[in-house]
Amino acid sequence: MRFILLTLFSTLFGFSAQAQNVDRTNFRAGLNAGMVTGDFSEAYSLVLGVDLYQHWGVSKELDVGVTTGFSNAFGEKQEISAGGVVIETEFDNLQFIPVAGSVRIYPTTGFKIGGDVGYAIGINEGNEGGFYYRPSMGIDLNGGTTELNISYLAVNGDVTYSSVLFGLLFLF
């Protein structure tokens, strides 16, 4: 797995070096929020995060780059009752820092689809992280200085953590 990630990053940095000759290079930073889905939806509900991207224009229709950020899923309290006994448990927050390659395709002006692939580093105790992927689509606002997007984030480790996110990115 580490070999695959190293190969992915080497390839993307190679594209990055070549892409600097194209006129579109940008840094993006933003916030995202959403809901946990799947295996963890009972223990976690709200997700808040920060996204950081560096993209290089390979062509008019394609950007490649790298991304990182921070994602925090807030733990919930749960009551379990069995045989007249009620046990209350509280889940700790679940936190990740993704390190990934990023691709964006522009089929029309102001609209993009793409995704991020890499590894999510687990921050909190007992969280070992895992393979990270995040397909997304977005639209440009304010003449291309702001982006509104929706994405599906997943981290595959022993079990799969997933969430649906809405984000707002600012392009610099």
Greater model confidence, 170 or 143: 170
CA angle at 87 for the pair 83 and 93, rounded to the nearest 5°: 145
pLDDT band at 36 (very low <50, low <70, confident <90, very high): very high
pTM comes to: 0.83
Q: Is it the case that residue 70 has pLDDT exceeding 60?
A: yes
Q: Is it the case that residue 47 has pLDDT exceeding 70?
A: yes
Q: What is the mean pLDDT of residues 130-157?
A: 96
Confidence at residue 21, expressed as pLDDT on a 0 to 100 scale: 42
Written as one letter, the residue type at 56 is W
CA 136 to chain centre: 9
What 3-state class would DSSP assign to 140? strand
18 φ, ψ (degrees, to nearest 5): -70, -35
Quote the CA–CA distance of 74 and 170 in Å, as a whole number.
25
Domains and CATH numbers, the chain: 2-171 (2.40.160.20)
pLDDT band at 4 (very low <50, low <70, confident <90, very high): very low
Q: Is it the case that residue 105 has pLDDT exceeding 70?
A: yes
Burial of 137 (0-12, 13-18, 19+ CB in 10 A): middle
Q: Is it the case that residue 16 has pLDDT exceeding 50?
A: no
